[in-house]
Amino acid sequence: MRNPEVAELNGAEIITEHLAREKVPYAVGLCGHGDLGLLDALAARSDEIQTISVHHESVAGFIADAYYRVRRQPLAAFTSCGPGAANLLVALGSALMDSSALLAITGNVPTTQFNRSPFQELGYHYQADFPSAARHYVKRSFQATRAAQLPLVMRQAFATMTGGRPGPVHVDVPLDVFAEDAAAEPADPGLWRGGVSGRTAAAADEIDVAVDLLLSARRPVIVAGHGLGSGDAARNLLELATAAGIPFVTSPLGKDLAAPGSPLYAGVTGRNGTYPANRAARGADVILALGTIFDDRSTSSWLPGYTYAIPPARLVHVDADPAVIGRNYPAALGVAASPAEVLRQLIAALAARGTRAARGQDAGHDAGKDASEYMGGHEADRRRWLAEIDGWRAEWERHIAPGRSSAAVPIGPARVLAALRAALPADGILLSDVGAHHNWVVQEWQPSGPGSLLQSWGFAAMGFGVAGALGARLAAPERPVAAVVGDGGFLMLPSVIATAVEYDLPAVWLVWNNGGFISIRDQQRGYFGTKGDLATTFRSEKTGKPYTADYAAMARAMGAEGFRAEDPGSLGDVLTAALESGRPAVVDVAVDADAAQPAVGSWELPPLPHPEPSFGWPDHEPPGDGVAPGDGASPPSSAAEGE
């Protein structure tokens, strides 16, 4: 029998009540006949949940994705059925592959019309079957065919989103279920999840083995990946590295975990990483990897001796997802646990063995002098190792520094990023969209801490940086936000500027105007030779001349600020003016499309021959048994980006 004390709510009210109990501040999406009921319920809760209306469904997903990366709090992204729901999939794929949580709510056709081919039903193989389309892009897809199912669906959706490796979850709701009444009490998140700890620790014997391996190392390296997580983890990473005198590198996606200015930080691994990071990683004898999946672009496609040499290096691999351990490199020790929690355990275990960490040394001290008790009798080897990395770092800086002050026109990529770094305040957030510019951001940008650099990495979804700037701004309204976006990516979702104006969301979009999909153009040239740059450069079919839109004028037409920069001397002032305008602003920057980025690793696309690095290669034989490939011609470095 029905509990008379439980008020009847319709399906949409059950959803919005649960969102309010989860303290979800924004629902972002686009209207359609399939989600009308949800819009009605959101209107009634507008004092608790603000609805943001966008002009393309993928924008909603990208906004929610970026919001979570900054605040670690999920938003709801909603769409109607059919093409509206399908447009959300690209954003969901980006969130899934980069471990970002959001709730996707899609409308569907009424249950009474299932299997009758109503307007926008995806039903050729199974009735109202959008969940089958979404399942590959989310952690879990739910479909509620009765309103009474929704309290359980919403409770499980939030638990799945944030449990283990975070990720997007999909809830599909037929039109009549939004409107159907049910005597169903929405779940209390505090009751169901308040007592659940997300901290999974390693076993004591695993920590002992890990410490033994680190103590035995002559050339240890710590690799910090995106899965390490939060600001506390970044501080603990620096504490462990400093107390133990171990150099550390980051994966490209984990770059914002690096401590700015730390003498132990060697940079980013992979094709578009830094020379000292790749040299250190491939020369290490013991590697402690925390929260990284060792994907192809961060490892030089697993080619032995380019970024890593595992084996002979012994790998301690820690990740919350046991499926990634041993997937791409054999682990001497694999630990399926929270990387942040294992990091705390390692610090405590080293302290118990009498390291300097036990005596509370300041994290800014000279690691080479204060970590001698940790070095397990290998003081001379370890000091030599740190000195070698210092030398590689200095060599790399000498090579790349001139580009940051170049007066060349069109403006060089390194000069663009140097000007933006000088203009963007230290607490600012930078988003990178996908394209040739992303490679330069990975190599050149200096983040200011966790959550200060956001990228779409695993799925490499163009549009993330364009739309995600609004999510970052919603998540941190007190912090300046800038996005570096290619002209190709910007043209995909320019409606974002209109949304920014509608909701008064100040952000700056630096449009990297290089005349096309230049990363793919460079692959076309490098792998197949120059054949007219088919479909990769923007040009008039009638005249054959290069084509470019006036992106600053586009911004002004939508009510935002629009600026244009064509020479490096004025770029800094233009960027400062845009950031200080307090309004949505687009800065159209003419960037040299033919600038070659120094490549320090490789990226293989079988069966095509992989390019050899263009800097520091072949270097001296790596320490140990690492493999050092021979010379080779390298195609333009931006060939490392998939979009």
Q: What is the DSSP letter of 610?
A: P
Go through 574-606 and write b for each residue having 16 or more CB atoms within 10 A of its CB, e for each that does not.
Answer: bbeebbeeebbbbbbbbbbbebebbbbbbbbee
SS3 label, residue 425: coil
Mean pLDDT for all residues in the chain: 91
> What is the pLDDT at residue 428?
97
Q: How confident is the model at residue 117 (pLDDT cuts 50, 70, 90)?
A: confident
User: Where do runs of H (alpha helix) occur along 292-357?
Assistant: 339-352
Considering only CA atoms, which of 605, 609, 601 is closest in space to residue 637? 601
Q: How confident is the model at residue 369 (pLDDT cuts 50, 70, 90)?
A: very low
pLDDT exceeding 70 applies to what percent of the chain?
91
Mean pLDDT calculated for residue range 620-629: 39
CA distance 166 to 154: 16
> What is the pLDDT at residue 73?
96
SS3 label, residue 482: strand
pLDDT of 621 > 50? The answer is no
Q: Which CATH architecture has domain 409-590?
A: 3-Layer(aba) Sandwich (3.40)
> What is the pLDDT at residue 4?
53
* Poorest-pLDDT segment among 92-106, 479-493, 609-623: 609-623
Tokens found for residue 378: 């290998």
What are the tens digits of pLDDT across the range 193-207? 888 887 899 999 999
What are the tens digits of pLDDT across the range 472-489? 999 999 999 999 999 999
Contact of 75 with 62, CB cutoff 8 Å: no
pLDDT of 468 > 60? The answer is yes
Mean pLDDT calculated for residue range 81-87: 96
* Poorest-pLDDT segment among 46-50, 76-80, 112-116, 629-633: 629-633
> What is the pLDDT at residue 634?
35
SS3 label, residue 339: helix
The CATH code of domain 9-193 reads 3.40.50.970
What are the tens digits of pLDDT across the range 416-453? 999 999 999 999 999 999 999 999 999 999 999 999 99
Q: CB 372: neighbour CB atoms within 10 A?
A: 15
Q: Where are the domains of the chain?
A: 9-193, 204-400, 409-590
* Poorest-pLDDT segment among 183-187, 528-532, 557-561: 528-532
> What is the pLDDT at residue 377?
64
> What is the pLDDT at residue 635?
35
> What is the pLDDT at residue 625?
40
Mean pLDDT calculated for residue range 339-360: 79
Considering only CA atoms, which of 173, 569, 289, 553 is closest in space to residue 407? 569
CA distance 617 to 303: 14
CA atoms within 13 A on the CB side of 191: 6
More confident residue, 628 or 568: 568
Assign domain 204-400 to its CATH superfamily.
TPP-binding domain (3.40.50.1220)
pLDDT of 368 > 80? The answer is no
SS3 label, residue 74: coil
> What is the pLDDT at residue 362?
44
* Fold matches, 204-400 and 409-590: yes
Tokens found for residue 125: 């193989």
Mean pLDDT calculated for residue range 301-323: 96
Ranges assigned E (strand) in 487-551 = 508-513
Considering only CA atoms, which of 12, 297, 375 is closest in space to residue 182? 12
Tokens found for residue 329: 């490199």
Considering only CA atoms, which of 515, 538, 537, 539 is closest in space to residue 525? 537
Residue with tokens 């390490």: 228
Q: Look up the pTM and report it.
A: 0.93
CA distance 600 to 632: 13
> What is the pLDDT at residue 376?
58
